[in-house]
Amino acid sequence: MTTSTTASSKNNAKRGVKIWAVALWLVIWQLTAMAVNQEILLVSPVSMLGRWFELISEADFWSRVAFSSLRIFEGLILGVALGSALGVLASRFEWVKDLMTPLISVIRAIPVASFIILALAWVSEKSLSAFISFMICFPVFYTNVLNGSKSVDKHLTEMANVFKLSGVKRFRYIFVPAVFPYLKTAFNVSVGLAWKSGTAAELITVPNGSIGELLHQAKIFLETADNLAWAFTIILLSLLFEGACRVILSGIERALKGR
């Protein structure tokens, strides 16, 4: 049996275990809902999916998904850009690192709810989810890119100096391979956090046309099926964003490595 066949078999086995794990929890959820027998407390996955299919057939569903997705995407991209840029600078200049350390520590320590309340004074309700997503993602990318930049092999850097490699080649063949694993980790962590913090901001500020607005309404009117259907939507969107980021990053990495 070849190495590739063995690896493929292991991946299929892992995928099978994950599917069975999800199925097990769905069965537990269904049985618990049947035992409780009060939809106001806990709806079954069948009822939740039924309500979700009703929601996706409405135009309002897609407009709200677009509204929230755009703003959370804006926050994520801004966090990637600024966090990565400052992470690289901090790896090269100690004074930048010293300047950023207190700020990063404060951002990490402040609860998301406190951030939302503080930001309301100077950010509009419609832009708040983008701002909060940015504030949550920024330190993750800063720290990971900083650590990735520091992990660059010094021997390779010395060889590049000896052979007088251009800045472009240094970036492509030395910097990218060192930083990309850290960047991938940052995306894996940040996408879910961006969606959780962004929708939390919408839930508190209730901007018109957002997912958070309907989550707020579902909470007030005790519409548990709607609440879980929108939560399911957020999970799917987060997974979709994460998958798209993974594909894009892999494509960029292959292109930079010339594969």
pLDDT at 39: 81
Tell whether 148 and 230 lie within a shared domain: yes
Alpha helices in the chain (DSSP H): 3-36, 45-56, 59-92, 94-109, 112-119, 125-150, 154-162, 167-170, 176-205, 211-220, 224-257
In terms of pLDDT, which residue wins out, 160 or 115?
Answer: 115
Tell whether 90 and 145 lie within a shared domain: yes
Q: Which residues neighbour 111 within 8 Å (Cβ) at sequence distance 6 or greater? A: none
Q: What is the mean pLDDT of residues 159-165?
A: 70
Where residue 5 falls among pLDDT bands split at 50, 70, 90? Answer: low
**Residue 90 burial (CB < 10 Å; 0-12/13-18/19+)?**
buried
Tell whether 146 and 29 lie within a shared domain: no
What is the tens place of the pLDDT at every residue in 29-77? 999 999 988 888 889 999 999 999 999 999 999 999 999 999 999 999 9
Tell whether 105 and 167 lie within a shared domain: yes
With H, G, I as helix, E, B as strand and everything else as coil, classify residue 51: helix
pTM: 0.85
Where residue 6 falls among pLDDT bands split at 50, 70, 90? Answer: low
Q: What is the mean pLDDT of residues 227-231?
A: 94
Tell whether 32 and 49 lie within a shared domain: no
Q: Is the pLDDT of residue 14 over 90?
A: no
What is the tens place of the pLDDT at every residue in 134-152? 999 999 999 999 998 888 7
As a three-state string, the secondary structure of 132-178 is HHHHHHHHHHHHHHHHHHHCCCHHHHHHHHHCCCCHHHHHHHHHHHH
- Supply the CATH number for residue 144's domain: 1.10.3720.10
Amino acid at 24: L
pLDDT at 10: 67
Q: Which residues neighbour 229 within 8 Å (Cβ) at sequence distance 6 or greater? A: 48, 49, 51, 52, 55
Tell whether 106 and 226 lie within a shared domain: yes
Tell whether 33 and 49 lie within a shared domain: no
Tell whether 77 and 200 lie within a shared domain: yes
Q: Is the pLDDT of residue 7 over 70?
A: no
With H, G, I as helix, E, B as strand and everything else as coil, classify residue 9: helix
Amino acid at 71: R
Positive or negative: CA dihedral 75, 76, 82, 86: positive
Q: What is the mean pLDDT of residues 110-130?
A: 89
Residues of the domain holding 12 = 1-37
Tell whether 97 and 14 lie within a shared domain: no
Given a contact cutoff of 8 angstroms between Cβ atoms, the answer to whether 65 and 184 are in contact is no
Closest among 23, 18, 48 to 33, alpha carbons compared? 48
* Number of structural domains in the chain: 2
Tell whether 157 and 195 lie within a shared domain: yes
pLDDT at 152: 77
Q: CA-CA distance, 50 to 43, in Å (whole number)?
A: 11
Tell whether 89 and 140 lie within a shared domain: yes
pLDDT at 160: 67
Q: Which residues neighbour 104 within 8 Å (Cβ) at sequence distance 6 or greater? A: 139, 142, 143
What is the tens place of the pLDDT at every residue in 171-196? 777 777 888 889 999 999 999 999 99
Query: Mean pLDDT of all residues in the chain?
Result: 87
Where residue 257 falls among pLDDT bands split at 50, 70, 90? Answer: low
Q: What is the mean pLDDT of residues 84-88?
A: 93
Percentage of residues of the chain with pLDDT beyond 70: 91
Q: CA-CA distance, 231 to 212, in Å (whole number)?
A: 10
Tell whether 11 and 132 lie within a shared domain: no
